[in-house]
Amino acid sequence: MHLIEPYYNWRDHYISSEDPRSPFFEREYSEFSYSQVLYNHYIHPQWDDFGSTTLFLKIIYCDYEEGFCVIEIMGEWNDCLYNDIMTLKREIIEPLMMEGVSKFILIGENVLTFHCSDECYYEEWFEEVEDQDGWVALVNFNDHVLRDMMEANIDSYFVTGGRLNDFGWRPLTPSQVFGAVSEYIEKRLGPVV
């Protein structure tokens, strides 16, 4: 687990700890001291703790002018025991939305499992971004995680599937990723009105 680190090749474009509008502004990181754990496994110190005991994230890019951000997620998404969606919504999503972000690209390659409780925070998030012509896209989530989301009936609050399930985003710039995801969403859902 400690070898899985957040994507760092966009650091020339954006660093959340240097962004005064980011929830992680002025956060300090150690490159050598591993203190955060996921169960009894240490995780890379570059992951951000946002109040969940099993889910960590990294805002790897945010563009307030275009109103989008890319968030990489790692760990166990557990709404049953820890209400991770409430914590994510209150601590990360709402501060970003107050800054004008309405389009969220969540990269879930390192989300290991998902456990749902209820859908109220998903519904709230969906309605808020929809009111701002936004969306929440899930990129590269594992099949079993997407299946669990579908069984919990929360998949309707996200844009998933097709190209988003196997999207080679790493060689692209943040703007190219946003452009490709936006284009896919428009083709799939039609223009957001």
Q: Could you tell me if residue 127 is inside a domain?
A: yes
Q: Are 91 and 23 in contact (CB under 8 A)?
A: yes
Q: Model confidence over 112-143: pLDDT tens digits?
A: 999 999 899 999 999 999 999 999 999 999 99
What's the CATH number where 176 sits? 3.30.750.24
Q: Which two tokens stand for residue 113?
A: 């499992």
Alpha-carbon distance of 110 to 54, in angstroms, equals 12
Model pTM score? 0.94
The answer to whether position 181 is within a domain reads: yes
Residue 109 CA to residue 5 CA, distance in Å, equals 12
Domain span at residue 162?
A: 50-189
Q: Is 96 left (phi over 0), alpha (psi -120 to 50) or beta?
A: alpha
Which two three-digit tokens encode residue 95? 């501060």
> Is 79 among the domain residues?
yes
Q: In tens digits, what is the pLDDT along the chain, a chain of 193 residues?
A: 566 889 999 999 999 999 999 999 999 987 778 778 888 888 888 999 999 999 999 999 999 999 999 999 999 999 999 999 999 999 999 999 999 999 999 999 999 999 999 899 999 999 999 999 999 999 999 999 999 999 999 999 999 999 999 999 999 999 999 999 999 999 877 655 4
